[in-house]
Amino acid sequence: MKLDRREFIKQAAISSAFATAGAIFPGVSFGDWSKLANNTGIISWQKSPCRFCGTGCGVLVGVSDGKAVAVKGDPNCSVNKGLCCMKGYHSVQALYGKDRLTKAKVRKNGEMVEVPIQEALDLVARKLQETKDAHGKDSVAIYGSGQWTIPDGYVASKLFKGCLGTNNVEANARLCMASAVTGFMTSFGIDEPMGCYEDIDHANVFITWGNNMAEMHPVLFSRMIANRKRRSNVKIIDFATRHTRTSQAADSSIIFKPQTDLAVANAICYEIIRNDRVNWNFVNEHVSFHKGKTNIGYGTEDHFAFKDEAEGINFDEFKEFLEDYTPDKVEKISGVPAKDIKYLAALYGDPSLKVTSFWCMGMNQHTRGTWINNLVYNIHLLVGKISTPGNSPFSLTGQPSACGTVREVGTLTNRLPHGVVMNEHDREMAAKIWDVPLSNIDPKPTYHTVEMFRALDRGDIKFIWIQVTNPMVTMPNLKRYRDGALKDDRFVVVSDVYPTPTTDVADVILPAAMWIEQEGMYGNSERRTQHFTQIVDPPGDAMSDTWQLIEVARRLGFEKQFPWDKSDYIGKIWEEYRLFHAGPKHEMAPYTVLNQRSGVQWPFVNGKETRWRFNPEHDPACTNGKDFHFYGKKDNRAWIWARPYEPAAESPDSEYNFWLNTGRVIEHWHTGSMTRRVPVLHNAVPSSYVEIHPEDAAELGVVNGEMVKIISRRGEITMPAQINGRGVPVRGMVFVPFFDESYLINEVTLDAFCPISKQPDYKKCAVRLEKA
């Protein structure tokens, strides 16, 4: 099995990625193409959302002679207002890597052999049906992505949940956004943020909870910086476990020990109450108090099961719970000085300040991810700073359609479009719209992502179709799941655009159309649906993931459920999907409207977008006659939860004495399978590294660039050290970007997860370091 393509990728990127554009404009650099195009007039520009994060920036793609040759920001898109980050400006180069998959491949006698794509699709349908017949409906599964378009995810869910009758549908957003979902559901009873990016223009204070926005959401961060430059009373507070580029740009940088954000959030609430900064009018009218189970485990064992139980409490009981979280007590737990905790509480509690909290993977990839989401909502609810311009607790998204395709479409084992499989009414709606018997839709969820790959290893799942994602890089405790996928009686289908460690384990590889080579929709963090047309043709036999699924569905005998013609199937799918969301709480814009605009926010009611939910000035779903209406909960109130601090699943000890934290860098996106084919991005950061505090490096006898062995209870990896680079971890912590398949850091990480959201924690496990 070949896992190290680094040298090939390097040569392919340098020698041939985007060779077509070089032929059109010989000797002209990529940065000059847009200017040249405007001068020559030989390029047509077409709008699209950007592919390379969840912000949802609008771009204009320049096309000449059937090739995408330039990109600029879309000035009509309110998300980015014409600005892009470096990945956006170079995004179309990712279409043209030398090793692009253009033909289907099938494993024959141990070797991958090119075959006509129709033959490969025949094999996929046959193996799927044979596996289901021999081992039952739950022996087959599909694993997708927040990079799926909305039609991709919708068709996958309809085929597997509606027609095949299995809830074995998951997406990699389980690894990045599941805690945001469960946090929102448990606090508000309905998913997705109540605010929007316009909050950035109104807020006085931004607090980034474990979120390196300068690199992970650079366009939004630039809007924050612009707001601070324009107005004198704007502050950015970086609250994190390591120093990053966000720390450098912030007004204050406050460092906490891993996992102790739980304790700090409770201490902020304690201070707000102690200093009588509670917005009593808001709390009395719109809030109720609750507690759940504690000591809830970490999910490291197979078949782990947990169900929380809410119990109502009153304000006095909540106040008593917080007595364990005074700033002085929490300073000893978290390492955050009591004065800094009081400072944060004062910012949240000052009625003259508008406060927006931003978070992403630092809070969501957390063994208590649901709890920390709840706790930050608690802070905003206590002071009533929510659902108004500039006052917003806001969970950001890391993929272009983790919200649209996963949270809205419901491509998780327990979800349906705008519903859950456990609810009979939701199943009845799905069965009617999908034209399948109600009995087809199983009321019991099956496997979340970690358990799905455990089931593949055990043999409970024997057929899995993986689309638009690279789990053989991204799964924690990776070696177990790669070994499981390679077992003899497992059949793995992979749809992708480039060779990856995941295509290495495949029995069938289907070449996929990428981004603007197809029509589709994404849904971003601020509830904005963004439509894009097919701008260029896919290479060779590549086709959209949606059409691959339709081809297989028809081979399985489901022509009635998948009747669409290739000329207009995306519009037809969208209008069917809209039926799930009819009504003022989640109404989606019609296809014709999406086609005209650079994104439309939902709920879209009577031709108007909803920017702030739960606020009757902006939200037509509010009907209680009050100044706010939290209609997601049966009591029409938002819930404040008493959630304690509990330690991480694995903490440093005498044998494994360092914390390991993993994440991304601005140049590369996720596993790098696309951005490492872009010359300027690849050359900027050609390989991964381990960030080490300079004093820890000195004790190890390691200098910059020397090799270091990182060892955990699960595996080990050797990679170069980076000392005093762009990020500097605190003593006793190391940080590793995960984009480089040559350094599979997830062979070291732990597959513990939040028991409520089932989202793994990639930010905290114990390792030791050795000089290699």
Q: What is the 3-state secondary structure (H, E, C) of 312-371?
A: EECHHHHHHHHHHHCHHHHHHHHCCCHHHHHHHHHHHHCCCCCEEEEECHHHHCCCCHHH
**pLDDT for the residue numbered 41:** 55
Mean pLDDT of 429-458: 98
Residue bearing the bigger pLDDT, 45 or 188: 188
Distance CA 291, CA 297 (A): 17
What average pLDDT does the structure give for the chain? 94
Return the CA Rg of the chain.
25
Mean pLDDT of 624-650: 98
In this predicted structure, the answer to whether residue 599 has a pLDDT above a threshold of 60 is yes
C-alpha 114, offset from chain centre? 33
Distance CA 214, CA 246 (A): 5
In this structure, the dihedral spanned by the alpha carbons of residues 676, 679, 682 and 685, taken in order and rounded to 10 degrees, is: -160
Residue bearing the bigger pLDDT, 63 or 12: 63
Mean pLDDT of 504-532: 97
Mean pLDDT of 695-716: 98
Instruction: State yes or no: is 467 an active-site residue.
Output: no
- The active-site residue out of 53, 77, 176, 196 is 176
Torsion region of 758: left, alpha or beta (phi above 0 gives left; psi -120 to 50 gives alpha): left
In this predicted structure, the answer to whether residue 334 has a pLDDT above a threshold of 90 is yes
- The active-site residue out of 93, 399, 518, 530 is 399
- The contacts of residue 195 (CB under 8 Å, 6+ apart) are 356, 387, 391, 392, 393, 394, 526, 611, 612
Percentage of residues of the chain with pLDDT beyond 90: 93
Contact by Cβ (8 Å): 342, 271:
yes
In this predicted structure, the answer to whether residue 681 has a pLDDT above a threshold of 80 is yes
Instruction: State yes or no: is 176 an active-site residue.
Output: yes
- The active-site residue out of 50, 84, 213, 361 is 361
Digit-coded pLDDT (tens) for 611-632: 999 999 999 999 999 999 999 9
**pLDDT for the residue numbered 35:** 52
Cis peptide before 603 (omega within 30 of 0): yes
Instruction: State yes or no: is 50 an active-site residue.
Output: no
* Residue closest to 35 by CA, chosen among 58, 7, 69, 10: 69
In this predicted structure, the answer to whether residue 141 has a pLDDT above a threshold of 60 is yes
In this predicted structure, the answer to whether residue 26 has a pLDDT above a threshold of 80 is no
Mean pLDDT of 417-445: 97
- The contacts of residue 588 (CB under 8 Å, 6+ apart) are 529, 577, 578, 581, 602, 604
**pLDDT for the residue numbered 722:** 98
* Residue closest to 222 by CA, chosen among 713, 747, 666, 591: 666
SS3 536: coil
Mean pLDDT of 232-248: 97
Q: Which two tokens stand for residue 573?
A: 């799918």
- The active-site residue out of 163, 177, 363, 403 is 177
Q: Which two tokens stand for residue 169?
A: 């549908």
Q: Tokens 């898109």 label which residue? A: 77
Instruction: State yes or no: is 759 an active-site residue.
Output: no
- The active-site residue out of 153, 362, 398, 632 is 398
**pLDDT for the residue numbered 42:** 55
SS3 552: helix
Q: Is the C-alpha dihedral spanning 673, 677, 683, 686 positive or negative?
A: positive
**pLDDT for the residue numbered 19:** 29
Percentage of residues of the chain with pLDDT beyond 70: 95
Instruction: State yes or no: is 177 an active-site residue.
Output: yes
Distance CA 661, CA 764 (A): 6
Split at pLDDT 50, 70, 90, the class of 44 is confident
- The active-site residue out of 47, 67, 72, 87 is 87
The H-or-E segment that residue 681 falls in is: helix 679-684
Instruction: State yes or no: is 399 an active-site residue.
Output: yes
Split at pLDDT 50, 70, 90, the class of 38 is low
Split at pLDDT 50, 70, 90, the class of 321 is very high
